[in-house]
Amino acid sequence: MIVIHTARELRKQIQLKKTSVGLVPTMGALHTGHLSLVKRASEENQLVIVSIYVNPTQFNDKKDLENYPKNLDQDLELLQSSSENIILYAPENDDIYPDGMVPKNFDFGSLALHMEGFSRPGHFDGVATVVEALLKNTTPTRAYFGEKDFQQLTIIKELNKQLKLGVEIISCPIIREKNGLAMSSRNQLLSPKDREEAKVIFKSLEAILKHAEKWTPHQMKQFFIAEVENLKGFKVEYFSVASPSDLIPVDHIEQHKMYRIFVAVYAGKTRLIDTVELKRK
Spatial separation of the C-alpha atoms in residues 26 and 79, rounded to whole Å: 12
Q: Exactly one of 34, 123, 218, 256 is catalytic; name it.
A: 34
Concerning whether 218 is annotated as a catalytic residue, the answer is no
Other residues' Cβ atoms within 10 Å of the Cβ of residue 280: 13
CB-based contact 219:251 (threshold 8 Å): no
CB-based contact 43:82 (threshold 8 Å): no
Rounded to the nearest 10°, the torsion over CA 66, 121, 272, 256 is -160
CB-based contact 67:186 (threshold 8 Å): no
Phi and psi, residue 43, nearest 5°: -75, -25
Bridge partner list, 267:
234, 270
Give me the amino acid identity at 95: D
Active site positions, annotated: 34
